[in-house]
Amino acid sequence: MKPCLLVIFALVTTVVLPVYQTAAADDSPSAVNEEPIPREQSEFFETSIRPLLVERCYSCHSAAAEDLEGNLLLDSRAGIAAGGSSGEVISGRDPEASLLIEAVRWENPGLQMPPDGRLRDSEIAALERWVSMGAPDPRDSPTTTAQKTVRTIDLDSGRQWWAFQPVTELPLPQLGATDNWPLTRIDHFILAKLNEHQLSPSPPADRGVLIRRAYLNLLGLRPTAEQIESFEQDDSVNAWAAMIDELLDSPHYGERWGRYWLDVVRYGEDNFTGEATTPPFPFAWRYRDWVI
């Protein structure tokens, strides 16, 4: 090879090729949104957006979908950035210009997603807020050592958890002057929500229905004919409260509701699974009886 050709070849391989590779890497889906995502935005995605996508979108728009609809993948950051057959689904930070928001709003008869039912208003609002943030997506984040972060316990943030907040008395919602249905504070909130959806409360249940509901809910058993008749004939003011106290004191109450806790702790008196022959756990029944 002539010396001049060698020089040209060297220039191409050392200058032009790296520039091309860098440009190709920048245009690849994996290069989308590589900047670190603020913790608040990441938590918002994990609590409000990812569960929504999994529940309502992944069946048609994920790598695991039997039939991928619209050539659109929503189970990865790169898939969302790539868009689908109709183009990009998120346009910058503008919900109004984003195809994703147009689809979930159901305002366009020709574009309504998910097709099996409109999302709740709160879910649509969460998606709009997410797009306004710039659609931060911690999925497919770079795994280089330099960008890995060590999760630590943030006590100040943990103290803001709703369960640790002091109990406060919320103001009662405003009701119409003719709304005399509420008997307790919680009834005001129930009626306000019913009015919001243009629904009316069910009529009061008779005593026969009430006692059946109480027995089935608390004991999982139906009352006898004698118990129903006795309650229907009891005209005392505290008849209902007295019956509830009686059911709560019943051993059957513990039998019904204790089994849920036993399920949580994986209670069992033996461990015969498959070919295992572990003998029964001695005295396991003592814990069962204590829970009940």
Q: Which of 104, 119, 139 lies at the terminal end of a domain, its last residue?
A: 139
On whether residue 82 sits in a domain, the answer given is yes
**What pLDDT is attached to residue 232?**
94
Question: pTM (2 decimals)?
Answer: 0.43
Q: How many CB atoms lie within 10 A of CB 84?
A: 18
Kindly give, in sequence order, each residue whose CB lies less than 8 Å from that of residue 279, ignoring residues fewer than 6 positions away: 270
Structural domains in the chain (count): 2
Residue with tokens 């209670």: 267
For the segment 182-216, what is each residue's pLDDT rounded down to a tens digit?
989 999 999 999 999 999 999 889 999 999 999 99
**What pLDDT is attached to residue 233?**
94
Same domain, 131 and 214: no
Q: Which range, of 59-73, 184-198, 215-229, 244-258, averages the lowest pLDDT?
A: 59-73
For the segment 159-170, what is each residue's pLDDT rounded down to a tens digit?
888 899 999 888
- Give strand ranges (E) for the chain: none
Same domain, 134 and 211: no
On whether residue 11 sits in a domain, the answer given is no
**What pLDDT is attached to residue 26?**
41
Under a CB-based contact definition with an 8 Å cutoff, are residues 126 and 52 in contact? yes
On whether residue 121 sits in a domain, the answer given is yes
**What pLDDT is attached to residue 271?**
65
Q: Which of 113, 139, 165 lies at the terminal end of a domain, its last residue?
A: 139
Output the CA torsion sign for 179, 181, 182, 186: negative
- Does residue 32 surpass a pLDDT of 90? no
- Does residue 17 surpass a pLDDT of 60? no
The residue that leads in pLDDT, 72 or 32, is: 72
Domain enclosing residue 64, as ranges: 37-139
Residue with tokens 């790598």: 63
Cα gap 48→161, rounded to integer Å = 16
Encoded tokens for 214: 């109480």
Cα gap 127→113, rounded to integer Å = 13
Q: Which of 33, 44, 145 is nearest to 92 (CA)?
A: 33
On whether residue 246 sits in a domain, the answer given is yes
